[in-house]
């Protein structure tokens, strides 16, 4: 059985802090001794854990009462710095608890993306390390603040890109080092300025940012989260209470966009998605026929590996040469590429439409009061995706909520905001020590489901190595509230 410290970075256990930053910082908390960190040993690294092995304390009653009140409170008492280094962008933002975005800085690794045609973990880590200090400083400066004005620091601690994770052992932290750049920076600031720290689930942050932009968005709602590494359909019943309706059995849609763009010789500087979206406008989506994935599986899971193969074969059969950039392609060549881009996008999005339609039926059975379906994650900034899903959602009597594109792609605002939502509930870690021991290993969570799987939705097509999963965020929160 794993020790409690193995699951502790997102501390869900502490009494609700004073909401006033100054008071809060003067308060002496008595935290659970090992909760803030762990040093990974060979025994803990193999902790293929189940939620039953969690040892957690309870929320205070007042926190539990607030948990049942889903309306986001719009106080402005505290200010959180959010740091995000989970993929190819280094991002930081300062957000006030009333939802005011005081600053937002994103440094992108566009050149690396173009050079390597995707995210190379080692390169990404180096690039994050080079700019992290500057990005955080700029976020503070733009907010006209110093670290002393902050109430807490929030930072993404998992999960990793699903693509990498299929080949990753549980403890292969070296493939996950780009996360550590952000976590290290967050811990340095929190340690030096005695600030609480909040570990954030990247996909929860993509979902919850919709509550910042849509002030009346209340639980329960459905979220379709579509990015480069993840495809998730969830029912968000309450803060931290998620049911996973569907996930991808192989590649995420963003990965399929990126590869299609690469094979079509498109300019990848803004990543593949926007390049395909642009080019698709010039093409005929019905001129190439691709089949919609997983038609025979009546569930809400996704698969994009097969569509990728169909696209690759079509590109080969039309003798499109990715080494000739689209900017130098002949008129016919450009049109052939545009047709493939349009046909790919149509089918990729049809797959989303079918799954969302079913997810709405499932979710309404569990929570008839649902009014909204939100879409977020990098792919949700795509206008075609938005308009197609808007039709599906409206047809089912719901309303679509899409954060603005700059908050759909990875950013620090979503991390800071999710930190604010959890901080209000008393879920945070105490300030780390000012000096971290040299052998300190950060508690990063490469395989960290957001919620428990919807039992009726389990698919035979999925063969995820469950033993290597970290307990889901929801199971951690539930375990802590039951004690
Ligand atoms: O959420 P995100 O910024 O990072 C991850 O968590 O993965 O998503 C990045 C993904 C990339 O695959 C990128 O190609 C895709 O989002 N993306 C788009 C668009 N903008 C970004 N895909 C389609 N259309 C877009 N306009
Ligand atoms: Zn993301």
pLDDT over threshold 90, residue 26: no
Closest CA to 49 of 428, 447, 454, 429: 447
Mean pLDDT of 469-483: 82
Going from the Cα of 30 to the center of ligand 2, the distance in angstroms, rounded, reads 34
CB burial readout 318-330, b (16+ within 10 A) else e:
eebeeeeebeebe
- Record the tokens describing residue 60, joined without a space: 């205070």
| Alpha-carbon distances, residue 141 vs 136, 149, 198, 431 (angstroms) | 9, 12, 22, 23
Predicted pLDDT at 463: 52
CATH topology of domain 79-214+410-449: Nucleotidyltransferase; domain 5 (3.30.420)
Going from the Cα of 89 to the center of ligand 1, the distance in angstroms, rounded, reads 11
The DSSP symbol for 248 reads B
Residue 264: left if φ>0, alpha if ψ -120 to 50, beta else—which one? alpha
Give yes or no for residue 251 CB within 6 A of ligand 1: no
* 79-214+410-449 and 223-405 have identical folds: yes
The predicted-structure confidence for 230-255, as pLDDT tens digits, reads as follows 999 999 999 999 999 999 999 999 99
- Residue pair 336/263 in contact (Cβ under 8 Å)? The answer is no
Give yes or no for residue 99 CB within 6 A of ligand 1: no
- Record the tokens describing residue 170, joined without a space: 């549980």
Instruction: Give CA–CA dist 403/381, Å, rounded.
Output: 8
pLDDT over threshold 60, residue 377: yes
What's the CATH code, domain 223-405? 3.30.420.40
Give yes or no for residue 158 CB within 6 A of ligand 1: no
Q: Where are the beta strands (DSSP E) in 408-468?
A: 452-453
CA angle, 254 as apex, 341 and 101 as ends, to 5°? 120
pLDDT over threshold 80, residue 429: yes
- Record the tokens describing residue 164, joined without a space: 């990498």
Question: Is residue 22 very low, low, confident or very high in pLDDT (cuts 50, 70, 90)?
Answer: very low
* Ligand 1 site-directed mutation target among 158, 228, 345, 384, most atoms within 8 Å of CB: 228
Predicted pLDDT at 126: 76
pLDDT over threshold 50, residue 265: yes
Question: Is residue 119 very low, low, confident or very high in pLDDT (cuts 50, 70, 90)?
Answer: low
Length of the chain, in residues: 483
**Backbone phi, then psi, for 54, in 5-degree steps?**
-75, 140
Question: Is residue 76 very low, low, confident or very high in pLDDT (cuts 50, 70, 90)?
Answer: low
Residue 271: left if φ>0, alpha if ψ -120 to 50, beta else—which one? left
Q: Is the peptide bond before 337 cis (omega within 30 degrees of 0)?
A: no
Torsion of CA 384, 389, 392, 398, to 10 degrees: -140
pLDDT over threshold 90, residue 409: yes
* Ligand 1 site-directed mutation target among 119, 227, 270, most atoms within 8 Å of CB: 227
Residue 224: strand pairing partners: 233, 375
Which residues lie below 8 Å from residue 417, measured CB to CB, with a gap of 6+? 80, 82, 95, 99, 205, 208, 209, 211, 212
Q: Does the pTM of the predicted model rise above 0.95?
A: no
Give yes or no for residue 227 CB within 6 A of ligand 1: yes
Mean pLDDT of 52-68: 27
Predicted pLDDT at 370: 98
Residue 155: left if φ>0, alpha if ψ -120 to 50, beta else—which one? beta
Predicted pLDDT at 2: 31
Domain spans of the chain, in order of start: 79-214+410-449, 223-405
> What's the whole-number average pLDDT of the chain?
80
- Closest ligand 1 atom, residue 411 Cα: 3
């Amino acid at each position: 059985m794993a020790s409690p410290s193995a699951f502790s970075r997102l501390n869900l256990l502490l009494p609700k802090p004073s909401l006033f930053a100054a008071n809060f910082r003067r308060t002496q908390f008595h935290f659970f001794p090992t909760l803030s960190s762990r040093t990974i040993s060979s025994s803990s690294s193999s902790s293929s854990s189940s939620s039953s092995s969690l040892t957690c304390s309870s929320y205070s009653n007042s926190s539990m009462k607030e948990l049942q009140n889903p309306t986001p409170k719009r106080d402005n008492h505290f200010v959180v710095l959010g740091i995000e280094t989970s993929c190819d962008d280094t991002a930081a933002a300062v957000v006030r608890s009333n939802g005011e975005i005081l600053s937002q800085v994103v440094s992108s690794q566009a050149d690396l993306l173009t050079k390597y045609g995707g995210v190379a973990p080692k390169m990404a880590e180096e690039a994050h390390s080079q700019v992290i200090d500057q990005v955080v400083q700029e976020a503070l400066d733009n907010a006209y603040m110093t670290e002393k004005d902050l109430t807490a620091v929030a930072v993404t601690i998992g999960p990793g890109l699903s693509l990498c994770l299929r080949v990753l052992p549980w403890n292969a932290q070296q493939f996950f080092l780009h996360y550590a750049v952000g976590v290290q920076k967050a811990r340095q600031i929190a340690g030096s300025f005695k600030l609480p720290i909040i570990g954030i689930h990247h996909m929860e942050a993509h979902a919850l940012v919709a509550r910042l932009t849509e002030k009346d968005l209340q639980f329960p709602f459905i979220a379709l989260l579509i990015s480069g590494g993840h495809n998730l359909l969830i029912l968000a019943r309450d803060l931290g209470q998620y049911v996973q309706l569907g996930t991808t059995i192989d590649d995420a849609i963003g990965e399929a966009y990126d590869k299609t763009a690469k094979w079509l010789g498109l300019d990848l500087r803004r990543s593949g998605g926007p390049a395909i979206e642009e080019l698709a406008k010039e093409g005929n989506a019905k001129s190439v026929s691709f089949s919609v994935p997983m038609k025979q599986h009546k569930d809400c899971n996704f698969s994009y590996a097969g569509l990728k193969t169909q696209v690759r074969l079509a590109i080969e059969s039309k003798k499109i040469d990715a080494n000739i950039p689209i900017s130098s392609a002949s008129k016919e060549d450009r049109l052939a590429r545009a047709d493939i881009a349009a046909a790919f996008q149509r089918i990729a999005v049809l797959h989303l439409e079918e799954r969302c339609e079913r997810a709405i039926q499932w979710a309404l059975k569990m929570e008839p009061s649902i009014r909204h379906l939100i879409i977020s994650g990098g792919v949700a900034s795509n206008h075609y995706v938005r308009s197609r899903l808007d039709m599906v959602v409206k047809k089912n009597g719901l309303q679509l909520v899409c954060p603005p594109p700059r908050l759909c792609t990875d950013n620090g605002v979503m991390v800071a905001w999710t930190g604010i939502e959890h901080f209000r509930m008393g879920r945070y870690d105490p300030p780390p020590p000012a000096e971290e021991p040299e052998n300190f290993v950060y508690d990063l969570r490469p395989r960290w489901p957001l919620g428990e799987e919807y039992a009726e939705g389990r698919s035979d097509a999925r063969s995820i190595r469950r033993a290597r999963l970290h307990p889901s965020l929801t199971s951690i929160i539930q375990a802590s509230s039951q004690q």
